[in-house]
Amino acid sequence: MSWMNWLEARIGFLGIPRLMQLIAVLNGFVYLLDIFQPSYVRALVLIPERILHGEVWRLVSYIFVPQVLLRGGNPSLQPLSLLFLFGYLWLLVWTGDALEHAWGAFRVTLFYFLGMVGVTVAAFFSGGGALSAFLLNFSLFFAFATLYPDVQIYVLFVLPLKVKWVALVSLALLVMQMFWGSLSTKAAILVSFLNYFVFFGPAAYAKLRDRSATDIRRRRFESKAFAEETLHRCAVCKRTEKDNPELEFRVSRNDEEYCLDHLPK
């Protein structure tokens, strides 16, 4: 995209190499912090009311809080939560490195920043509560699945599936939430995927437009070919039933078709 190339040429130095690795490491650190000082972790989540009271660091710090810590109780001490965290952080690093290899550090940073803007807007729109970076990182996975649809992963470390099928199932779950969820849930999903729409929307629209133009040209060609198709053609004068509807044709012994004027004796 031309505007993205323009941005990269001027502020490309703002790209953060290995951004997702850094975020994954800080997520792990916050998970450990929750074991000893859970009250500190609560000061990091995205709560609009607290931001309006001057706690502006929450606009960034929430991306370092794993989703598993927002489920209540004390998940840090649960083995299943630890397994979930490991898979979550591994997927974060893996998809982030793959996207950085495809796009470069600046575009991955821009993608994540736009997603953070979307999550922040969704948080203020929802009117309270604490939002995590789960949907933001989910959009990162969808970007990976769009670029590498045939890569195989092991769901729950056991079931081998191509990324595109995992993405489609995840998309179906999101659509269900869009239909049956609250207004704030719908807004959170839509706005949190702002980065995905910005990066892939123009290309998808252009592809759809080109496909429509190709279909139109194909239909025109097929209709023209059908219009030019004839049932009979004289092997001598090349006239067809379209040249003269009154013409009669016969097939001779040599399997060639002739009009009555040129029928061999």
Same domain as 173, residue 46: yes
First to last CA, the chain: 71
Same domain as 84, residue 193: yes
- Confidence bin at 113 (pLDDT 50/70/90): very high
What φ, ψ does residue 78 adopt, rounded to 5°? -100, 125
Residue 212: inside a domain:
no
Same domain as 104, residue 42: yes
Number of domains in the chain: 2
Same domain as 128, residue 257: no
Lowest pLDDT segment from 74-78, 166-170, 249-253: 74-78
Residue 218: inside a domain:
no
Looking at every residue in the chain, the average pLDDT score rounds to 80
Residue 185: inside a domain:
yes
pLDDT exceeds 90 at position 23: yes
For 244, the domain range is 225-265
Same domain as 237, residue 156: no
Same domain as 183, residue 102: yes
174-189: per-residue pLDDT in tens? 888 777 777 767 777 7
Tell me the two tokens of residue 32.
Answer: 């450990």
Q: Is 257 helix (H, G, I), strand (E, B) or coil?
A: strand
Q: How far apart are CA 263 and CA 246, in angstroms?
A: 16
Query: For the domain that residue 76 is a member of, what is the CATH number?
Result: 1.20.1540
Q: What's the number of CA atoms in the CB half-sphere (13 Å) around residue 204?
A: 9
Residue 219: inside a domain:
no
Give alpha helix (H) positions in 37-133: 38-42, 48-52, 58-61, 79-103, 105-126
160: left (phi over 0), alpha (psi -120 to 50) or beta: beta
The whole-number average pLDDT for the span 215-233 is: 63
Same domain as 201, residue 73: yes
